[in-house]
Structure 1
Amino acid sequence: MSRGGRRRMWGTAFRVSGAILTVALLVAGIVVFTDAFNQKQGKMSAAVNASSIDKIVLRTDGVLTEVWVKRTLDLREGITLMELDIDGLRAEIETHQQVSSATVRRRFPSTLEVSLAERAPVARISARDSQGATQILLVARDGVVFPGVGFEREFRRTLPYLAGIKLVRDEGRLRPIKGMDVASVLLATVRNEAPHLYNDWKVVSLARLEDEREIEVQSAKVKRIVFTTRSEDAFLKQIAQLDVLLDSVRAHTDQPVREINLAIGRMSDGRMQVPVTFSDTIPVESVVPQESTPNSQFFNTPRKTNREL
């Protein structure tokens, strides 16, 4: 072989060897890096797994507190985030009827986040528990009944009692009360539009709701007020009529009113006539404006019925 051929052969051999060595070094570097990375990840994972929960952060739209959450979850001391059954914790919180929905999340390294949507009470009931003891429970807009943790006593006293309802127990808890979706609209309307009337309401009866489509209210000033539920905008108009009518009564007599039936009012001469019964029978004419002439037992209000609160 000529000298030039030997040079070319050795040059090729060196280049091949260099390429092999380069590849080997790259592979070794990758192996070393991967091993170091895995060791670091393992140490981080071990550190995370070894960190016990040191904080529970609560976000809620109601009145429940972190103390309540801790008591409800009853987590073992020293438990870590990775040991938690997140779905199980959420389900445990949602067994409490005051909670409409819950979300539970891990926030590493050691924080548990809990978000709650709570039911707001619109009324209260008196019921007996399994031991026969009387207890006051709260009722939400959707009819769900719950004890009501965290609500101040003064707030509870502002809620009217429910009457004319049937309480049914199912697997240890009360079923939602029928008709509360309708009753809650009446309560919300009077609370928002005529709070001076709402503050006097003591009892709301649903006894005639299903058959007669009527809701009866007992207030501090009137023993029985009857509302109809037969039209979508009925409540606002009826509350306006009630407000006007009570103003008229106060202006003309101190006689206590026993009943006002807004469910059977009728129009006459552009005005709404509503039957009113007094505690002691007196002529209706004596309490109405002189310029109006009432028909039979109907009270003629001095303002037009299109007044809205």
Structure 2
Amino acid sequence: MSHAHLSIPPPARSWTEIPQEIAPRAMSAAGRRRAAFSMCKLILVSALIGTTIWAGIEIYMTWRHDPRRLADPTQSSPLRTIALQHTNGVLTRDWLVETLAIRPGSTLMGLDLEALKARLLANGQVRNAILTRQFPDTLAVTLDERTPVIRILVQDESGQPLHAVVSQDGTVYRGINYDPALISSLPWLDGVGLRRLSGETFAPVAGIDSVARLLEDTRTWTPALAPEFSIVSLVRYADDGILIVNTTRGEQFLFGTSDDFFRQLARLDYILEQARQAPDARPLQSVNLALGRQVPIRFQAPPAPAPAAPAPRRAVARQQPAAAPQPQPEPALRQIVIPAPPAEAGTPAHTPPPQQQPQPQAPAGRLLPPTRPGAQPQTQTSVLPRIAFHI
């Protein structure tokens, strides 16, 4: 058999040989985000490289044509405006410009903001200051001011009296632009020793926070009593924690800082109402509210009675004063001898009594007692008594 007549079967076909139309694989959301992020990074890096190249070229051109701008770049932004953006007090822009004292021609970038802030804080009325540059040519300032609580009388470096105020944190400073009515309504501070730091700067006073709370509670809960507070003394604050308040009526109230001021003011209001409305009310001298519910009260001594006015006198005609009496010689005592009757026989003759010694004269206006027996007559001497009129 020849090989030509042999038949070879064709190879078997597989399903993989069947032509199929396959759609491309869809990209997920995470893949799309990664692709977008990669594109953004590419763009950002390209922009950064381009900016760096451009900045280098600009610096080079500036160095070639105007090197002074590289030495002082602030010359391109001169200061033209100082703006007081905000303040919670009474300071004005004029005060701000005068205090900063920025020399003319200064540039905005050339300002030393820390040094300017120190100038503002040197005034005790300023608690804090914020200075910011607003390009191209503005310096903006925001002030936080202190509020006066009480006023005090101090001495300047030359010894002259100086009116100042004290804030809640104990800072002593001269108030600027305050309403005179506001300052006159504040009580005075007493019983403290000030320690001068430099110039008109003093060390903070301890205890003013308690004084501020007392005055604030008084204005809130007993507003009729607040204007009567004249002087607040801290002489017993350090040792006993007591605030002493003197009023315009001459009264003295003692408040304890360890107790709530509201309760003490409520007790004081009740005591004043009862004491001042009583029919036989006497002025109060002191009320000690620092002992809790036991409140010692002292009253002022009653005033001395006024001397009675003299009774009206009837008008009489004025007479010429009598001439002064001339001294007269004292009258001498006269002796009267009474003749004796005829003697009877056997009866001894009557002998006259011995002569009496003269008796001393009594002062004018007095009568002498009898110095002789009643059977013997006396001489009557007329003596006028001396009469004195007391007007």
TM-score, scaled to structure 2: 0.57
Alignment of 1:99-114 (within 5 A): 99-114=126-141
In structure 1, give the amino acid aligned to 2:274: S
Q: Are residue 250 (structure 1) and residue 271 (structure 2) matched? A: no
In 1, Cα distance between equivalents of 2:85 and 2:51: 45
Structure 2: state its 5+ residue gaps: 1-49, 304-391
Aligned to 1:126: 153
Give, in angstroms, the shift of residue 265 of structure 1. 5.1
Q: Are residue 136 (structure 1) and residue 163 (structure 2) matched? A: yes
Aligned to 1:10: none
Aligned to 2:215: 187
Question: What secondary structure does 1:90 align onto?
Answer: helix
Alignment of 1:63-74 (within 5 A): 63-74=90-101
Give, in angstroms, the shift of residue 54 of structure 1. 2.6
8 Å CA contact 1:48–1:108 kept in 2: the answer is no
Aligned to 1:224: 252
In 1, Cα distance between equivalents of 2:239 and 2:56: 77
In 2, Cα distance between equivalents of 1:258 and 1:67: 49
Question: What secondary structure does 1:196 align onto?
Answer: coil
Match for residue 154 of structure 1 among 162, 181, 185: 181
Match for residue 214 of structure 1 among 242, 249, 261: 242
How many residue pairs get aligned? The number is 244
Moved more, 125-134 or 50-59: 50-59
In 1, Cα distance between equivalents of 2:87 and 2:292: 44
Aligned to 1:196: 224
Shift in alpha-carbon separation, 1:249–1:106, aligned structure 2, 3 A: same
In structure 2, give the amino acid aligned to 1:118: E
Q: Are residue 90 (structure 1) and residue 111 (structure 2) matched? A: no
In structure 2, give the amino acid aligned to 1:82: M
Q: Which has the higher contact order (CA 8 A, sep 6+)?
A: 1
Aligned to 2:190: 163
TM-score, scaled to structure 1: 0.71
8 Å CA contact 1:102–1:117 kept in 2: the answer is yes
Shift in alpha-carbon separation, 1:138–1:47, aligned structure 2, 3 A: closer
In 1, Cα distance between equivalents of 2:272 and 2:75: 68
Q: Are residue 240 (structure 1) and residue 263 (structure 2) matched? A: no
Aligned to 2:300: 279
Match for residue 145 of structure 1 among 145, 154, 172: 172
Question: What secondary structure does 2:215 align onto?
Answer: helix
Write 1 or 2 for the structure with the bigger share of strand.
1
* C-alpha RMSD of the superposition: 2.7
8 Å CA contact 1:49–1:81 kept in 2: the answer is no
Question: What secondary structure does 1:52 align onto?
Answer: coil
In structure 1, give the amino acid aligned to 2:269: D
Give, in angstroms, the shift of residue 37 of structure 1. 6.8
Shift in alpha-carbon separation, 1:217–1:30, aligned structure 2, 3 A: closer
Question: What secondary structure does 2:136 align onto?
Answer: coil
Which has more radius of gyration?
2
